[in-house]
Structure 1
Amino acid sequence: MSQRRAVILLYLVAIIAGIIAVYVRQMRIGVTVVTIAGFALTILFIGLLLGKVKVYDESEHPGGTLIDVIEGFTHRRRIFENLLDMGMIVLAYYVAYLIRWDGDIPPDQRKIFAATVPLMIGIELFAFLAGGVYRGIWRYAGIDELVTIAKSTVLGSGIAGMAILSLYRFNGPSRGVMILNGILIFLMVAASRVSFRFLGTLLVGRRKANPDARPVLIYGAGDGGAMLIGELLNNPAHQYDPVGFIDDDRTKTGKLLRGYQIFHSRELPDLIEEHGVTEVLISSLKVGEERIEQFKSLGIEFRRMRIHID
């Protein structure tokens, strides 16, 4: 991500902070607390995001105050990840009370919240740790990570709920709050992991091609093609500049895969002329001799993607 994008993002955060400051006086106290807490967690989340995304100056200058701060932040990101989760646990617990009591929490319930929130934090964080939530890499968060978060949340919320209800001898704490709390924790934590992946891609944008990179087309717009272009984008050492995909399946023509257009194989001659393509990378195992002969007749090189396990 360029330094310019990072600065724009920080300006947007400042504008949102100003808007909140203007309207916060008109909000009810409960909504005010949630808004400010949510904004604080958003700031922490953005800090984590910038800490894991490489930030560079437009002129490739390695220095700069913003860059130094962000790069220094990466070394402490695990602590801030835990702080983010702690904040979301507290926020989810408080919002559960607001929902249960229609935005007006009774004084006795406020006391219960204040007395039990440390217990809730401790048990939930322990469940996350034991359940493997912190072993996942946010950048690659997917279905498996969401399942892990769901299991850990159910475990933590269940134990915490029973502990709190038992502490008060099932008289005082609302069971509805405990159920809502578990749902909200899962939604918040899952959203933070998944949005981290998508926002990271959005902020980084398409990688600028190396001037020496060769324009290349990928044959096969399937799982293999998605894996191949991911490797090309994440590893500039390959010296390839992807133009797009070509595929024999007409139903895929015109669609996008990882942000790159899928063309029909019959468009290959025009693509070669328009983009100066001299090489095709074959990601599919299902490529007929007819297609190979087409590559040869057009005078372009072709290479097959292979996965070797020694």
Structure 2
Amino acid sequence: MQSRILSWPRVVKLAVVIAVDVVLALLSTWIAFTLRLDELHSPSEAQWWVYGLAPLLAIPVFIKFGLYRAIFRYTGQAALKATGQAVVVFGMVFMAVLLWQQWPGVPRSVGVLQPLIFLLLVGTSRAVARFWLAGLGSAQRPAEGRLLIYGAGTAGVQTASAMGISRQFSLLGFVDDDAAKVGRSINGVPVFAPSEVPGLVARLGVTDILLALPSSSRERRNRIIDSLRSVPVHIRTLPGLADLATGRVTVQDFKELDIEDLLGRDTVPPNTDLLARNLADKVVLVTGAGGSIGSELCRQILAEHPRQLLLLDHNEFGLYSIHQELQGLCVAQRFGCELVPLLGSVASPRRLQEICHTYRPATVYHAAAYKHVPMVESNPAEGIANNVFGTLNMARAAIESGVTQFILVSTDKAVRPTNVMGASKRMAELVLQALAGQAGESTTCFGMVRFGNVLGSSGSVVPLFRRQLASGGPLTVTHPEVTRYFMTIPEAAQLVLQAGAMAGGGEVFVLDMGEPVRIMDLARRMVELSGLSVRDEVNVSGDIEIAITGLRPGEKLYEELLIGDNPSSTTHPRIMKAHEDYLTWPVLEVHLQTLRRAADSSDVPAIKAVLRACVHGYGGQAAQST
């Protein structure tokens, strides 16, 4: 029966609902007369006008309030509120007409009783329809999991309501550390204390725990997640407050733990005074705009209201994707920024000069680079052409067109590198340092921002581990002791924007990122928070194995952020300024000429010889310094 009703055409459903409301309007009028006159009512003479008035007023008011656009099986508090408002408006008009006409035999109290009864009948009809239709298929479709919701606040209750509609999970209870809520129930669902979770998992067969804590601090979330790591359940989370602004939560909003949760530390808060300094009402160019860092830079730059945002990338699909996304943001947020997608490569000096002379950007964020260590190690000539000479091409175009600020996105792998990728990024830094050291040669201010691995990017270990978990493992780690500094993509983009605002010329900025993270610990954390166990010598019956694959070519066990040991502080408490030696432009230019010839001829020994001569720590030789 339910499936037959749901298969009706929309017009038929609408006609049925309007017909039901007409009947309810007439029924509520009859009940109002019956109660007022204290006998079963049989309308006569002018009383028939009241029976006709009720549906003639109610239906237009209901249409005006959008009651016939609602889907009954998803009806929630918002729809019930709209129903109440519609009936109140109807009641006011209904009473006004009765007072105006003063039909004989029509008591004025009917104008009060009828709307109240009508509200009760309409509200009941909506509630019955919701619960009856929402149960469609629930008996045939078993729940996919047995769930506890951690957090008995507004988000948790909304989630429980959404689950009642979807029937995708069987909700067993709430968990909350508020002693006033523990032992009570919400809509018939009991509330438990956090200490009861291990026993509940064992006794009730809990498979999933959902963190419904969108407004809680990162510190509190980390404490909760750590307390649940030993429990064999899959831990997921709801989006943050910004994503819940619509007030509607669905089962589809459930997602894996945030990357920040996996990282286990607080992110670096932005200094809002620095963010807009070189962006507001300016023309801004982002190279590598379709990449992980470049696209996030574009999102955050757009929020600072530039006049024009130039998106440069050689990847057509990546450029198309970020351009479409930013256009949607402009419409949604009513940004007045002009977006200009530009296909081109930083390896093409003519294209870069054309772009800079046509659009005259004031600020350039240079994020275009080859960044995968093994890939660049296998293709060193291409890595040098893109990372070193692409940076030089962009810097020269910026100087020629009078760019005010030029910020290079660099990496901690540039510090005493053991691979071509890291050495090429340090060479790019040396290029900008040398150009900045030419007093009076240009008005362009060059700065560099160096940070660690970016969680969630295309080359990050976290998406790799998630894919491996989904396929049943194993998770691959190159060495049991390998460690890395980590940050999130939004953190990295914020750092670039803020450090760029502090650049005075030639500085290398680094982030105080706290302690490095062991990749083995990160792998174990992801397995445990997925409700699985690690299979090793101690636990031979575990679910997921962590396999050691050996260090890749050019890979280091430990990364560093500084070449020297004398960083100075800046106006941002988590950003430091490195003081590092560099080659003067006349000296570096000779090396660059040799490097270009080697790259053009794909002479790998010659490429590495130049890198050893220029880059401190590469191949065991230090660079000549000023």
TM-score (norm 1): 0.60
Which of residues 256, 273, 280 is equivalent to 2:185? 256
Amino acid across the alignment from 2:195: R
Which of residues 295, 300, 304 is equivalent to 2:228? 295
Residue 47 of structure 1 aligns with which residue?
Answer: none
Residue 161 of structure 1 aligns with which residue?
Answer: 98
> Do 1:246 and 1:263's aligned partners in 2 also have CA atoms closer than 8 Å?
yes
In 1, Cα distance between equivalents of 2:207 and 2:34:
62
1:87 aligns with 2:20: no
Residue 8 of structure 1 aligns with which residue?
Answer: none
Residue 184 of structure 1 aligns with which residue?
Answer: 117
Deviations, residues 201-239 of structure 1 (Å, cap 9, x unaligned) = 6898789534xx344432112222223334445456xx7
In 2, Cα distance between equivalents of 1:246 and 1:240:
16
Residue 195 of structure 2 aligns with which residue?
Answer: 266
> Do 2:67 and 2:83's aligned partners in 1 also have CA atoms closer than 8 Å?
no
Q: Structure 1 112/148 Cα, relative in aligned 2: closer, same or farther at 3 Å?
A: same
Equivalent position SS for 1:111: coil
In 2, Cα distance between equivalents of 1:112 and 1:74:
39
Equivalent position SS for 1:252: coil
Higher helix residue share: 1
Residue 59 of structure 2 aligns with which residue?
Answer: 125
In 2, Cα distance between equivalents of 1:267 and 1:134:
45
Residue 483 of structure 2 aligns with which residue?
Answer: none
Quote the offset at 1:112 in angstroms: 1.8
Matches for 1:61-72 after TM superposition, within 5 Å: 68=4, 70-72=5-7
Residue 134 of structure 1 aligns with which residue?
Answer: 68
In 1, Cα distance between equivalents of 2:13 and 2:112:
30
Matches for 1:10-159 after TM superposition, within 5 Å: 55=2, 68=4, 70-73=5-8, 75=10, 76-103=12-39, 110-138=44-72, 139-142=74-77, 144-159=81-96
In 2, Cα distance between equivalents of 1:155 and 1:224:
35
In 1, Cα distance between equivalents of 2:40 and 2:201:
66
Give the number of the structure whose alpha-carbon radius of gyration is greater. Answer: 2
In 2, Cα distance between equivalents of 1:137 and 1:259:
25
Equivalent position SS for 2:229: helix
> Do 1:126 and 1:156's aligned partners in 2 also have CA atoms closer than 8 Å?
no
In 2, Cα distance between equivalents of 1:175 and 1:232:
45
Equivalent position SS for 2:173: strand
Residue 29 of structure 1 aligns with which residue?
Answer: none
Quote the offset at 1:149 in angstroms: 2.8
In 2, Cα distance between equivalents of 1:141 and 1:278:
28
> Do 2:99 and 2:108's aligned partners in 1 also have CA atoms closer than 8 Å?
no
Quote the offset at 1:270 in angstroms: 1.3
Structure 2, unaligned stretches of length 5 or more? 244-328, 330-626
Amino acid across the alignment from 2:183: G
Higher relative contact order (CA 8 A, sep 6+): 1
Equivalent position SS for 1:250: coil
Quote the offset at 1:157 in angstroms: 0.9
Residue 229 of structure 1 aligns with which residue?
Answer: 160
Quote the offset at 1:105 in angstroms: 5.6
Q: Structure 1 268/134 Cα, relative in aligned 2: closer, same or farther at 3 Å?
A: same
1:280 aligns with 2:209: yes
Which of residues 169, 173, 176 is equivalent to 1:247? 176
In 1, Cα distance between equivalents of 2:207 and 2:65:
49
In 1, Cα distance between equivalents of 2:170 and 2:52:
52
In 2, Cα distance between equivalents of 1:244 and 1:83:
40
In 2, Cα distance between equivalents of 1:223 and 1:243:
18
1:217 aligns with 2:148: yes
Quote the offset at 1:268 in angstroms: 1.5
Deviations, residues 59-118 of structure 1 (Å, cap 9, x unaligned) = xxxxxxxx54x4455742221211111112212222332233331668xx6122235532
Q: Structure 1 102/214 Cα, relative in aligned 2: closer, same or farther at 3 Å?
A: closer
> Do 1:92 and 1:184's aligned partners in 2 also have CA atoms closer than 8 Å?
yes
In 2, Cα distance between equivalents of 1:262 and 1:137:
31
Quote the offset at 1:130 in angstroms: 3.1
> Do 2:22 and 2:59's aligned partners in 1 also have CA atoms closer than 8 Å?
yes
In 2, Cα distance between equivalents of 1:105 and 1:281:
55
Equivalent position SS for 1:174: coil
Higher strand residue share: 2
Structure 1, unaligned stretches of length 5 or more? 1-49, 56-66
Q: Number of residue pairs matched?
A: 235
Supply the RMSD in Å over aligned alpha carbons: 3.6
In 2, Cα distance between equivalents of 1:264 and 1:230:
21
In 1, Cα distance between equivalents of 2:28 and 2:170:
45
In 2, Cα distance between equivalents of 1:298 and 1:72:
44
Amino acid across the alignment from 1:283: A
In 2, Cα distance between equivalents of 1:95 and 1:242:
40
In 2, Cα distance between equivalents of 1:80 and 1:275:
43
Q: Structure 1 157/141 Cα, relative in aligned 2: closer, same or farther at 3 Å?
A: farther
Amino acid across the alignment from 1:147: G
Amino acid across the alignment from 1:148: Q
Equivalent position SS for 1:266: helix
Amino acid across the alignment from 1:177: V
Deviations, residues 14-68 of structure 1 (Å, cap 9, x unaligned) = xxxxxxxxxxxxxxxxxxxxxxxxxxxxxxxxxxxx6xxxx4xxxxxxxxxxx54
Amino acid across the alignment from 1:99: L
